[in-house]
Structure 1
Amino acid sequence: MSENYKFFNHKNCEYFPCHKTNKPEEFNCLFCYCPLYALGKNCGGNFKYSENGIKDCSNCLLPHNKNNYDYIMSKFQDIIKITSKED
């Protein structure tokens, strides 16, 4: 089975690459906006919080690594839990 859906490299994007990398040919643009941002400190990425409490992911390549598709998909249940309406 083909796994081409796990990787997309958009070299023509005006922001490509949006993070510094030495391997632009392996930069995955599939998750242009990281779906794990909402998980805060539990996202698993390389982030820091600014002085005013804003999550800064500018040094994080987790969603852009061509091998991390399965990791990101494994976190969707966690995203659903924090975004669900609690009764």
Structure 2
Amino acid sequence: MENSHSFFRNYQCRYFPCHKTSNDMNFNCLFCFCPLYHMEDCGGSYEIKNNIKNCMNCKLPHRPEAYDYIIDKLKKQRAE
């Protein structure tokens, strides 16, 4: 799956990995900035600090299987 349309890992990024992980091989960089950030019901784990959404502990967009989930959420939002 490496470097496919739904998975990309950038070992050369100075922030890689941007979240703690137990397995660098399964860390997906495709959604470096989560496209679901603007959604309150994004499905990820976040907290609100000083009225700002803090996603530092969320690994949802970095999971290998997240592509389908994210695309589906975006399609559903668009249909609303």
Structure-1-length-normalised TM-score: 0.81
RMSD across aligned positions (CA)? 1.7
Provide the aligned length of Structure 1 versus Structure 2.
77
Aligned to 1:48: 47
- Listed as ranges, the gaps of 5+ residues in structure 2 are none
Of Structure 1 and Structure 2, which has the larger fraction of its residues in helix?
Answer: 1
Aligned equivalents of 1:17, 1:54: Cα separation in 2: 23
Structure 1 outlier segments of 4+, above 3 Å:
none
Question: What is the Cα deviation at residue 10 of structure 1?
Answer: 0.4
Aligned equivalents of 1:56, 1:81: Cα separation in 2: 27
- Once the two structures are aligned, what percentage of the paired residues are identical? 48
Residue 13 (str. 1) matches residue 13 (str. 2): yes
Does the C-alpha gap of structure 1 residues 62 and 12 become closer, same or farther in structure 2, counting only changes over 3 Å?
same
- Listed as ranges, the gaps of 5+ residues in structure 1 are 83-87
Does the C-alpha gap of structure 1 residues 26 and 32 become closer, same or farther in structure 2, counting only changes over 3 Å?
same
